[in-house]
Structure 1
């Protein structure tokens, strides 16, 4: 197993950009780590890193070998877990990308519970509202609203019935009243969102009679971070058009109210996105089942008007 340990050290060193940092992560002394790296280079008959007193960087050969080493370690972890089926202890590393608001409002606490159940699993979470490139080695899976950006990706549903809702804080509604329908939003301050440098101003709804309605949202605030838009809404700065999963806890606690509940917002199904079924390791499969159960436990949006009661 010494060769496997050397391979793990190489991958950790490449990720950290530092042999000493990788040694600390793997609980090795600097001398042992340095000897292991030299041993691997001798075995491969190549130089993997260019070393100087201040920096460490991969050689061309090291960059070429890194993807193979990473995949080999992942396959070995999967094989170890497959020996014991669902009873196997999850190990290794799982790198996840998720939207900022979902991550902070729900996913952080969900992952805390998941990691308590699997303490040997290392989670690396990246919160971003930019579409993550799951083909890169730095990400195993991504949680994303809507269809995947590329047809080559595998998208597994987590919350297929999720949709957007209009929300505002009680303080805003006390000052400005609640719109009777989305058509009245032109008289309100709408908190808008940038996604991959595209401004989302067209808010779409389905009317109670089944007809489609599209509103041109206007307001004095725009941000590319969905969490910032949610915080503006909580502070009473205006009306937001949010994924229900992002604001369900705020609505349940009374911090936000759902507006125009009889008008259905546009669908925003949540998917677990992977570069291919080869990447659906036991850890990914168990995480998917766990997140599906958590999403299913979130109560659906209200279908009648609690927001109207606020302004009576």
Structure 2
């Protein structure tokens, strides 16, 4: 494998006609430059320069190889500039994984606006509630509730103040009544979804008396949070969901907040990626864009009134 620094020594020496001058330009010692040139000739099994005590000139083989060496260095520089440019311009592919409910019912129209403002971005959107393997799957960033279990991942806050809320459809409440305290949830059909591969059936709340935990039960469970939301809209039971997921339904009257005096469990929304190098300008702009709209929804949350 040819070394990049050896190619640079060769090209600079050919351009200035002096190995010592090339070494000064590359900020290395003449001995290092000489070793690099010798190593390159050995790998190519060709003599690139004809040397004398007073001159250094390219051989025929050296002149032929110089064309390819320059092209290789130019191609690498073009690639570097393209990567640098992708971090400063708003263009190129943006691969994003988001939770199913938040993605379909809250984020999707926001993304339409973002794409309209930045038409050179190509969005690739993956919807799902399972934890995405950011090191293996074709995803640049993910929006996820809660802190990542893998401490090596980079997590930036998008909606740190988000919480879960209890709610149900008016039709369900008309048929089954409205709970007046946390313990009465045992008498209601609670809609369960999977969280981290397990059924999220122990609901936690905060009141003036401290933290409360309740084991709930119901006749429906799904690994897709959007399905659980749709069951709630259909009047099938009580749901305990992120405010960001159901804010639109509450504002439209399709769902009603229950026990508004009770503070739901914190559910921060974070932008997650495998490496900080993935935090390009489009990613930062998307985060700021989503963060601003989440802030607007959080200002209307029941615990902030």
TM-score by length of 2: 0.71
Are 1:170 and 2:175 an aligned pair?
Answer: no
Q: CA deviation at 1:196?
A: 3.9
- 1:96-135 per-residue CA deviation (whole Å, 9 max, x = no partner) reads 0000000011111111100001111100000000000111
Q: Distance in 2 between matches of 1:251 and 1:280?
A: 34
For structure 1, the 5+ residue unaligned runs are: 1-71, 306-312
For structure 2, the 5+ residue unaligned runs are: 1-76
Q: Distance in 2 between matches of 1:173 and 1:259?
A: 10
Q: Distance in 1 between matches of 2:161 and 2:92?
A: 32
- 1:181-227 per-residue CA deviation (whole Å, 9 max, x = no partner) reads 121100000000112431111000011x1411101011000000000
Are 1:160 and 2:165 an aligned pair?
Answer: no
The residue that corresponds to 2:249 in the other structure is: 250
Counterparts of 1:1-312 in structure 2, within 5 Å, are 76-81=81-86, 88=89, 90-207=90-207, 209-298=208-297, 299-303=299-303
Q: Which moved more, 1:237-246 or 1:293-302?
A: 293-302
Q: CA deviation at 1:294?
A: 0.9
Is the Cα–Cα contact under 8 Å of residues 262 and 304 in structure 1 kept in the other structure?
no
Is the Cα–Cα contact under 8 Å of residues 164 and 266 in structure 1 kept in the other structure?
yes
Q: Distance in 2 between matches of 1:111 and 1:226?
A: 20
Task: Extract structure 1 runs of 4+ deviating beyond 3 A.
Answer: 72-78
- 1:138-194 per-residue CA deviation (whole Å, 9 max, x = no partner) reads 010000000012100110000000000001000001111110012110000000011
Residues 287/303 of structure 1: CA separation in 2 closer, same or farther (3 Å cut): closer
Residues 128/304 of structure 1: CA separation in 2 closer, same or farther (3 Å cut): closer
Q: CA deviation at 1:78?
A: 4.5
Q: Distance in 2 between matches of 1:199 and 1:73?
A: 50
RMSD: 2.0
Q: CA deviation at 1:76?
A: 4.8
Q: Larger radius of gyration, structure 1 or 2?
A: 2
Is the Cα–Cα contact under 8 Å of residues 74 and 92 in structure 1 kept in the other structure?
no
How many positions carry a matched residue from both structures? Answer: 228
SS of 1:126's partner is strand
Is the Cα–Cα contact under 8 Å of residues 206 and 264 in structure 1 kept in the other structure?
yes
Q: Distance in 1 between matches of 2:292 and 2:196?
A: 30
Is the Cα–Cα contact under 8 Å of residues 158 and 270 in structure 1 kept in the other structure?
yes
Is the Cα–Cα contact under 8 Å of residues 86 and 92 in structure 2 kept in the other structure?
no
